[in-house]
Chains A and B, each alone.
Chain A
Amino acid sequence: MANILLVDDSSTMRKIISRSLRQAGLPVDEIYEAADGIEGLNVIASGKSIQLILSDINMPNMDGLEFVKAVRANGNKTPIVMITTEAGGEIIAEAMSSGASDSIKKPFTPDQLQEKLGGML
């Protein structure tokens, strides 16, 4: 069972993703939530065991691209999957070159989550 950090400024989207992860039958234990990159970094810094990070890109305070760079700058190698409306090639390419592992476009179905995340958990 894996613990997941979910970083998204929309509380609705965090609830939908949490529900979809369980509906998809993925082996999920704890889901920690953060509303932006800064909160996400604070959760990581708290020392919680996290096996996968799911992050939005377009967020206030610290966006998903800055968040990925900050996580990697700290030497953290936890897989990070961007879940975002930002499906443009250049933005996803920047996220990947900054250390993201994959991306999922919103809106998504539980099947799409299962397909993308199944091999990571």
Chain B
Amino acid sequence: MSLNADIAKSVKITEETLAGYVIDATREVFTTMVMMQPKDEFPLREPVSRFRCSITGMVGFAGTYHGVISIHCPVVLALKVTSNMLGVECEEVNDDLNDAIGEIANMLGGSVKQVLSKGGMDVKLSIPTVISGEDYTVNSLSDSDCVIIPFIVEEQKFLVGLTLKKGK
């Protein structure tokens, strides 16, 4: 999985550099708001689109660039993440879990937006969308436009993906 060369060229940074921004943003969000220190395992060796017993939070970009930043994590890890964020134990998939994962996607989107748009007005962020289930598939419009970074924290793996296209 790699970022489209045109996108990398248009944002004037390499795929590795953009991945670095996503890694830094993910670490900052987790360290500051989740009290966890994830380690990245970039690059991803094999494409992943099917998730089991997982939850996915997504925030869209529109404007000069459009695309989606997403976080995919096992429900077991999402429960720990949510418990840490809220300061109370979260034991089931519920509104708190959905909201917490959506907010993480929102903060990741904000960080990536800073790279894509220095001013902030030419790229808009959507309200977060969250999906979860026992077995589901997430497909981007074009796999070649994706950079996906695997992370590991507390012996659980999760993914952060960024799909981008240059707007018209």
Contact = CB atoms under 8 A, between A and B. Distances in A.
Interface string B112-154: 0110011111000101000000000000000000000000000
B119 A88 contact: yes
A22 B96 CA distance: 21
Given A58-B127, A84-B110, A107-B29, A11 B95 contact: yes
A70 to B, nearest CB: 20
Query: Most chain-A Cβ atoms within 10 A of its Cβ — which of B28, B29, B120?
Result: B120
Contacts of B85: 12, 15-16
Interface string A82-121: 0011111111101000000000011111000000000000
Given A88-B113, A106-B107, A107-B28, 6 more contacts: A11-B95, A12-B100, A15-B86, A58-B106, A58-B125, A87-B110
11 contacts: A10-B103, A11-B95, A12-B100, A15-B86, A88-B113, A88-B114, A88-B117, A89-B120, A105-B110, A106-B110, A107-B28
Contacts of B82: 12
B38 interface: no
A91 B120 contact: yes
Nearest to A92: B120
- Size class of the contact patch on chain B: 20 to 34
Contact of B114 (A9, A87, A107, A109): A87
Given A10-B99, A90-B121, A107 B107 contact: yes
Interface string A18-41: 010000000000000000000000
B127 A60 contact: yes
Nearest to A60: B127
B106 A88 contact: no
B107 A86 contact: no
Contacts of B120: 86-92
